[in-house]
Amino acid sequence: MLLANAEGPQTFLLFLFLPLFICLWILVSYIGSALGGWSALAQRYREEFPPEGKSYWMRSAKIGSIYYRSCLAFCDCDKGLGISILWIFRCGHPPLFIPWEAFHNVRQESEGFISYTGADVGCPALAHVCLPHWLEERIKQANVAKAD
């Protein structure tokens, strides 16, 4: 009843806000994916089947120039690393499965007071990633096994 009697620009803006907000959210998500390198990684490393392994939720990482704070899930598998993002940010960010062998140029990096394990993904490099330190040993183990 209240909406039937409402008139004027306030009502129009109210009904326009939600669709515009959703469209803007989706657009920003796709732009972030393209600028950061997630979309380039997804072209080669899109996850076809959910990986089996130990999962770690609400983790942070940097992919390209985009920092994903506490919105990623990692799946540590024997063959590689699964990376997915919370459903609310999923537009333009399909789940990834990156084989351990795809990580190269592994090194310590820091930004301010925060330090990471940096690595390039793919050969030639599709994107630069900064991952939590606990993944460094896993990446190095796979690269040593690959060299043997």
pLDDT tens for 77-114 read: 999 999 999 999 999 999 999 999 999 999 999 888 88
Contact 129, 118 (CB under 8 A): yes
In a domain, 10, yes or no: no
Sign of the alpha-carbon dihedral angle for 141, 57, 126, 128? negative
In a domain, 5, yes or no: no
Structural domain harbouring 71 = 38-147
Domain tally, the chain? 1
**pLDDT of residue 43 exceeding 90:** yes
Instruction: For residue 74, give the CATH number of its domain.
Output: 2.30.29.30
130 φψ region: left (φ > 0), alpha (ψ -120 to 50), beta (else): beta
pTM of the model: 0.85
Confidence class of residue 5 from pLDDT cuts 50, 70 and 90? low
In a domain, 22, yes or no: no
pLDDT tens for 7-38 read: 667 777 778 888 899 999 999 999 999 999 99
Report H helices in 1-135: 2-5, 9-36, 38-45
102 residue type, one letter: A
